[in-house]
Amino acid sequence: MNYEKLIKDLIKEHGEIAGSSSYISLWTKWYQGVVPSFHIYKIFNGVEYVKQRKLSAQGAKKVCEDWASLLMNEEVEIITADKEAFDAELEKMDFWTKANKAVEYGFATSLGALAVDIEAEAEEVINEETKQPELLFTGIKSIDLSVHSALRIVPITIKNEIITECAFINENTNETKVSLHLLNENGNYDITVASVNSKSKVVNSVFKIPLDCPKPTFALLHPNIVNNLEIDSALPISVFANAIDTLKALDTKVDSYHNEFVLGRKRVYVSHELSKINKETGQLEFAFDPNDTTYYYLPNNPNAVDKGEPLIKIQDSAIRAIEHQTAIQDEWNALSLKCGLGIERYKFEKGRVMTATQVISEKSDVAQNVRRHEILLRHRILDLIETIIWLYNQYTEKRFADTLFDIKFEDGIIEDTETQKQSDRTEVASGLMSKIEYRVKWFGEDEKTARANVNKYFGDDELASRINKFLPALMQGAMTVRQFVEQVYIDESNKDTLITELQEKIDSQSGGITADDIQATGFYNPSNN
């Protein structure tokens, strides 16, 4: 069905609409794994052309799956002031599954979308002008999200390189729902839903939901890369748009590797003498199935028998396994590089492709590409979260704080988390990183909470640092007890008492005093009072 024409008819006041990229069909076919113009071909077996299908390595699908896993995985968090309650609402919407799917769709087909899907309450009224019944919006029953690929997304309006209005298509068995997310005269978003009969394509009803939402009611997710195929176009491209030739080369080599084993079963050349004419039909009949490409029928040569040539010739072919494995690995490397995943992400081994397990450093090309895509993803997801919170607060009895929300991407997708932790623990032990900094980074605590917990479990971390810094000078006589207390217990008001207690402690320790002695129960320690 021509959805663009339907949408034009529904919003005639908009005039022309932006429409979709002409490359979407091609990208979708590569994502599906079979492009008929490339994968379907014919080969001549000596008698006729036999239809063949080239094998597919599903390289485009693999790349898009991996990008979705890198960018929208189970470790990503939406941070809100009412996190626990709001997370429960996101779970009801199956937000994380849909977001992961939308990212994969976006990287594959150039556009993926999460769109607000409203189940509205309405009452039937009579239009005074047309005297026909129509539905009047009265409220919202539920708030959900729908996920779409570029095949079911129609950009309507583009402004300043951004798609500001869009239509989304949901095809069901008997009904197709077209949702138009449009700006109203206030510059806010309303949703108009058209119900279309899936068989007759007749529009059954059009219902406007006047949300007047200040933020977009949809999030368009796609690679954060420039469209070099349609210069100056605001429409995005697939992540493998510039790797089509590599996908072809990869599938050609995979298919060739398979054919090595097919041909390795022996190639059989059959003499024309083993065929005969069927007297009833007049057709040429063969001793073997002519559709089997293992057999190749030689043209008629009357002199072949006289020369003593055999009726059947068998050719053995050595399988070039190593050459094919090397070539296939080269193509996987090229595909990975062109799609922003680095040169050695995939390893072709034992006849299958495995994702490499090496740690990706923060300065690698992959890390930089991840961060670049996260810039766009962060902006679009947070706008959608703000919209969802606004809708709950405006149209339901549930209330959520509309400030202090953020999205936290998992650093472990770039570098092994346990390796990072161990590195930071080493820096804490060597004094290059404080316990407070460690807890802020790895326990997700703010500085005040981290400081309180460090004091609770380890004593005052800053006090211990000052003690270790000035204790050698005290023990060597380069600093008096009073000078030590002045430098270490900066904020204490009863310094004279501390000086007396510390002097007594030193006098009672004939072998000298340690940092543990100073922080121990026998001497003053703020954490023990």
pLDDT, tens digit, for every residue of 29-57?
999 999 999 999 988 877 889 898 999 99
For residue 147, what pLDDT band results from cuts at 50, 70 and 90?
very high
H-run or E-run covering 49: strand 49-53
State pTM to two decimals. Answer: 0.70
Can you give the pLDDT at residue 149? Answer: 96
- Name the E strands within 279-418: 284-286, 295-297, 312-315, 346-349, 352-355, 406-408
H-run or E-run covering 410: none
Quick check: 513 pLDDT over 80? no
Mean pLDDT of 463-486: 84
Mean pLDDT of 324-334: 92
Q: Which two tokens stand for residue 264?
A: 């390795």
In sequence order, the 6+-apart residues with CB closer than 8 A to the CB of 239 are 63, 64, 67, 107, 108, 223, 225, 339, 340
Quick check: 409 pLDDT over 70? yes
Can you give the pLDDT at residue 524? Answer: 52
**Which among 299, 298, 176, 149 is positioned nearest to 236, based on CA atoms?**
149
Quick check: 511 pLDDT over 80? no
Quick check: 189 pLDDT over 90? yes
Higher pLDDT, 204 or 223: 223
Can you give the pLDDT at residue 291? Answer: 62
Can you give the pLDDT at residue 90? Answer: 95
Other Cβ atoms closer than 10 A to 77? 14
pLDDT per residue as tens digits for the range 353-365? 666 544 455 557 8
Poorest-pLDDT segment among 127-131, 232-236, 283-287, 468-472: 283-287
Mean pLDDT of 143-172: 93
**DSSP β-bridge partners for residue 112:** 149, 221
Q: Which two tokens stand for residue 516?
A: 């543990």
Most confident of the ranges 229-238, 343-352, 426-435: 229-238
Q: What is the dihedral of CA 151, 152, 155, 161, to 10 degrees?
A: -60
Other Cβ atoms closer than 10 A to 393? 14
CA distance 469 to 467: 5
Q: Which two tokens stand for residue 489?
A: 């217990």
Can you give the pLDDT at residue 435? Answer: 79
**DSSP β-bridge partners for residue 189:** 183, 213
Quick check: 345 pLDDT over 80? yes
Mean pLDDT of 169-178: 86
Which residue stretches of 34-149 are H helix? Answer: 36-39, 59-71, 83-92, 95-109
Q: What is the overall mean pLDDT for the chain?
A: 82
Higher pLDDT, 215 or 81: 215
Can you give the pLDDT at residue 522? Answer: 41
Mean pLDDT of 342-357: 70
Can you give the pLDDT at residue 311? Answer: 56
Can you give the pLDDT at residue 359? Answer: 45
Other Cβ atoms closer than 10 A to 499? 18
Q: Which two tokens stand for residue 433?
A: 């990183």
Can you give the pLDDT at residue 527? Answer: 44
SS3 labels along 214-247 = CCCCEEEECCCCCCCCCCCCCCCCCCCHHHHHHH
Higher pLDDT, 3 or 24: 24
Which residue stretches of 146-193 are H helix? Answer: none
In sequence order, the 6+-apart residues with CB closer than 8 A to the CB of 372 are 224
CA distance 381 to 387: 10
Mean pLDDT of 391-408: 89
Higher pLDDT, 24 or 502: 24
pLDDT per residue as tens digits for the range 258-301? 888 776 666 666 665 555 555 566 565 555 555 665 556 556 66
DSSP 174: S
**DSSP β-bridge partners for residue 78:** 407
Quick check: 528 pLDDT over 50? no
For residue 150, what pLDDT band results from cuts at 50, 70 and 90?
very high
Percent of the chain with pLDDT over 70: 80
pLDDT per residue as tens digits for the range 293-310? 555 655 666 555 555 566
Q: Which two tokens stand for residue 219?
A: 């999030």
Poorest-pLDDT segment among 111-120, 133-142, 410-419, 424-433: 410-419
Can you give the pLDDT at residue 521? Answer: 39
Domain boundaries, the chain: 265-316, 459-528
**Which among 31, 96, 21 is positioned nearest to 62, based on CA atoms?**
31
Can you give the pLDDT at residue 517? Answer: 67
